[in-house]
Structures are given as structure tokens and as C-alpha cells.
Amino acid sequence: MNIAGRLAKTFLSSKITAMIMLAITLVGLVAIAVTPREYNPQIVVPAANIIVAKPGATADEVENTIVKPLEAIMNAQAGVKHTFGYAVNDYGVVTVQFDVGQDQEKSLVKLYNQLMQNMDRMPSGAMQPMVKPINVDDVPIMTLTLASSKQSDHELRYVGLHVLEQLRNIPGVSFTEIVGGRPRAINIFIDAQKLAAAGLALDQVDRMLNATNISLPAGELVDGNQNTPLRFNGFLKSAHEVGDIVLGAPRGRPVFLKDVAQIEDGPAEAEASSHFAFGPAAHNPAFDGAAPAVTIAIAKKAGTNAVVVANAVLAKLETLKREAIPEGVSVV
């Protein structure tokens, strides 16, 4: 009998064989419970987007003066696997991907140093480049849609932001984003005839709005042994404050913005529209047809269990349905 046969015979007759099998089974069960479940494998692939804006430039100009030179600069680095970019009017984006297994922090430092050393090659009029790292854990593990036929997209976004603030506090949640719905804005509708009659130009309105809506440090107040920092808080908070901006006094009388414009506090101008509809297979749909909707995207922290995080989000969501989400808003 060879070694394998003698070893098998020993285990068949040994009293500890059952204990070893039980221990292996228990270790396997523990491993199943504690091993993180990943939507994407934890492969380190350092990458980043470099965004460079040049207001007023055409897509062809951005491609020839920013994107192509920047791709050549980034390709000159050691460890870069490939680069690719695209250009549109006013800005361009170059994506840099390093070799698999490269240290992410060191790769980003190298990229930033290479970018700063070649800033003199950026064209005149280009703004400071913005570097945004790309991480596999930024991919959402789940999305939640709030839809209602009784509320506007602006109202749904307000509800979604409140829900999002609560979900961000759940352990294991990292990147969150809300998509859809018009945000709050103070809209100014200028009457061209009233503006001309007041002797003012449109660029004066723009300058006064930019000059008024600011916050600046105003020094320090010294009292005894204490220094109290002072700050001028000039951010505009309401339509009333915007309307009280003085545009000028061309005829010796102050002209307020509310004298030449209609000012409304409400949803911003629509740039995109998001709707949700139940399909034919849906049982007891909350509404018929398409309705305004907003979507919440949730990603997890690196190394955490995707199933555990998703279950915690769903459990918190059940509480929010009773306490924070208005009646008539469906969550899917």
C-alpha cells in the first residue's frame, strides 16, 4: 500500500476524523458569513479624469490645443497603460489609466506632478485643470427611484435630498448622488424696456449680482486676550434680498433690481427631465402612465460587504417611508 492509501486508512479508523471534518465545515460557514460580497472584483486599476475648461473655444480647438497635447504629456509617464480623451465646446476631458496593480496614491501623485510640470504648455485662456480620480468602488451598488403623479419634480427632489441625508449616515455607504428633478433657484426675468428706461445695461446687472453675492473675511476684533475673526456674509438667501440689490443711480435716484425685473424663488430652468412608469406586469401600480421621478444612487466603501450595506439601506428606507416620505410618493 502506498502513502496515499496508508493515509486514507489512518483517517478512516481515526477518532479525530469527524472532529476535523466538523472544524472544516465551521470554518467554511464562518468564511461565507464574513467574506465581503463584491459587485466588482477588488482589482486596483489607478485611473483619473483630467478636465480642462477653455470658455468660448470650439470642440476642434479644444481637441487640438488641449486634449491631444495632454494625452502626449500623460503617455510620457512610466506605468501609464493608455490615455484617451474627448472634446466638446468649452472643455475637454482626458482619461489616464495606469497598469493594473500600480499603487493608486503614488500613481495620482505622479499624474499631478507631470501635469504641473507642463502647465506652461496649456494654451492661453485655459482654466486650471481639475483631476478627478476614478475608483471601482464609486460604482453604485443600488439605486432608488422616487416617483409621484401628485408632486412636481422640484418637490420630489426636495424629498429625495432629505432621504439622501438620512441614507448617508448608514455605515458602509460612501458615494451618493441624486439624479433628476429641478433644484431650487432664484430666477430673474429682466424687463428689457424697463432696464433701458432706467438708463442701465444688462452687463451692469451681471456685475452687481456677482459683486453682491459674496462672502469675505473682514479682519479680526481684538478684545483683551481674545481675537474674534470677523466675516462679511453677503450671500443672497431669498428673492426679497435679490430684489433689493441697487443696480445704480443714473438719474440721482437708486434703481433696484426689483424695479426692472420679475424675481421668483422656485425651481431652476429645466435642462433635463426624468420620469418613471410601471410596466404591464406590475401588480397594483401606484399611478397610471409616466410620472416625474428622481433617482438616488448609492455606492459602498471599499472592503465592505455589498449585501450587508444594501440590506441596511433597505431597512432604513422602510423607516423613512413611515416618517419622511410623503403619502403618494412611490419608492422603487
Instruction: Map out the domains of the chain as residue ranges.
Output: 47-134, 138-183+271-331, 190-262
Whether the per-residue pLDDT at 40 is higher than 60: the answer is no
In Å, what is the CA distance from 247 to each residue of 104, 192, 209, 241, 257? 51, 14, 9, 13, 6
- pLDDT tens figures, 288-304: 888 999 999 999 887 78
Model confidence at 37, in pLDDT bands (50, 70, 90)? low
Kindly report the number of other CB atoms within 10 A of residue 71's CB atom: 19
Whether the per-residue pLDDT at 247 is higher than 60: the answer is yes
Asked whether 51 and 129 are in contact (CB, 8 A), the reply is yes
47-134 and 190-262, same CATH topology: no
Q: Which CATH number fits domain 47-134: 2.60.320.10, 3.40.50.800, 3.90.100.10, 3.30.70.1430?
A: 3.30.70.1430
**Of 198, 311, 305, which is closest to residue 247 (Cα–Cα)?**
198
Rounded to an integer, the average pLDDT of 197-223 is 82
Q: How far is CA 64 from the centre of its chain?
A: 29
pLDDT in the model for residue 42: 63
Rounded to an integer, the average pLDDT of 98-102 is 86
Helices H / strands E in the chain, number of each? 11, 15
Question: Could you give the CA distance from residue 319 to residue 292 in angstroms, rounded to a whole number?
Answer: 23
Spatial CB neighbours of 176, under 8 Å, sequence gap ≥ 6: 164, 167, 168, 296, 297, 298, 299
Rounded to an integer, the average pLDDT of 73-92 is 90
pLDDT in the model for residue 305: 81
Spatial CB neighbours of 95, under 8 Å, sequence gap ≥ 6: 47, 48, 49, 50, 83, 84, 85, 134
Taking the CA atoms of 297, 302, 307 and 308 in sequence, report the sign of the dihedral they define.
negative
Rounded to an integer, the average pLDDT of 26-50 is 77
The CATH classification number of 190-262 equals: 3.30.2090.10
Model confidence at 41, in pLDDT bands (50, 70, 90)? low
The CATH classification number of 138-183+271-331 equals: 3.30.70.1320
pLDDT in the model for residue 322: 87
- In the DSSP assignment, the letter for residue 252 is S
Rounded to an integer, the average pLDDT of 34-47 is 69
pLDDT in the model for residue 87: 92
- pLDDT tens figures, 129-180: 999 988 777 788 899 999 998 889 999 999 999 999 999 999 989 889 999 8
- The single-letter code of the amino acid at 121 is R
How much is the pTM? Answer: 0.67
